Amino acid sequence: MLKKIIHQTWIVISLTLCLVGIFSLPVIAAPAISTNPEVVNIDLGNAANELKFFPNELKLVAGKRYKLVLNNPSPQKHYFTAKDFADNSWTQKVEAGKVEIKGAIHELELKPGATAEWVLIPEKPGTYSLRCPIPGHTEAGMTGKIIISAE
């Protein structure tokens, strides 16, 4: 009786180990593919000083890692303000110049000629607004939409 139980237990353990082995294989292989985030380029204004985001609509997928490359090619400073989007995303880091910032980010200010990289994973599907809150800019059309779709 005891021998039978031991034997059955051994089978269950072997099967479990076997299954763990099978399922852990793709997990081990995956990081090599998913390490690099998808790059999304966004310009805040342009050289002609138009008050717009280029593009002004971003489509992202929840759970996927992105690197938003924000660039200000215009002659004046702008903000990338998307508080609800930021609240519903997990920010890994923001890199600007030689500085790397970790933790929650709500808004980025970019001076003329500046570039910043924001690495994040959108978490909650929805449509979020983006704007530049410098007086007159939102009113002039410096707004956008960030759409996070489900995985």
Binding of Cu ion at residue 78 (CB under 5 A)?
yes
Binding of Cu ion at residue 131 (CB under 5 A)?
no
Which residue's CB is nearer to Cu ion, number 62 or number 134? 134
CA distances from 54 to 44, 72, 93 (A): 7, 10, 22
Give the CB-nearest residue to Cu ion: 132
For the chain, the 3-state helix, strand and coil shares in percent, each to the nearest 5, are 25, 40, 35
Binding of Cu ion at residue 52 (CB under 5 A)?
no
Report yes or no: 148 and 122 within 8 Å, Cβ to Cβ. Answer: yes
Q: How far apart are CA 50 and CA 44, in angstroms?
A: 9
Q: Give me 61's structure tokens.
A: 């997928």
- The stretch among 8-16, 56-64, 111-119, 124-132 that binds Cu ion (CB under 5 A) is 124-132
Binding of Cu ion at residue 137 (CB under 5 A)?
yes
Size of the site for Cu ion (CB under 5 A): 5
Binding of Cu ion at residue 134 (CB under 5 A)?
yes
**Among residues 60, 94, 132, 148, which is the contact residue for Cu ion, using CB under 5 A?**
132
Which residue's CB is nearer to Cu ion, number 49 or number 127? 49
Q: Are strands 66-71 and 38-44 parallel, antiparallel or unpaired?
A: parallel
Give the position of tokens 């880091």. Answer: 93
Shortest distance in whole angstroms from residue 47 CB to Cu ion: 14
Which residues of the chain form contacts with Cu ion (CB under 5 A)?
78, 132, 134, 137, 142
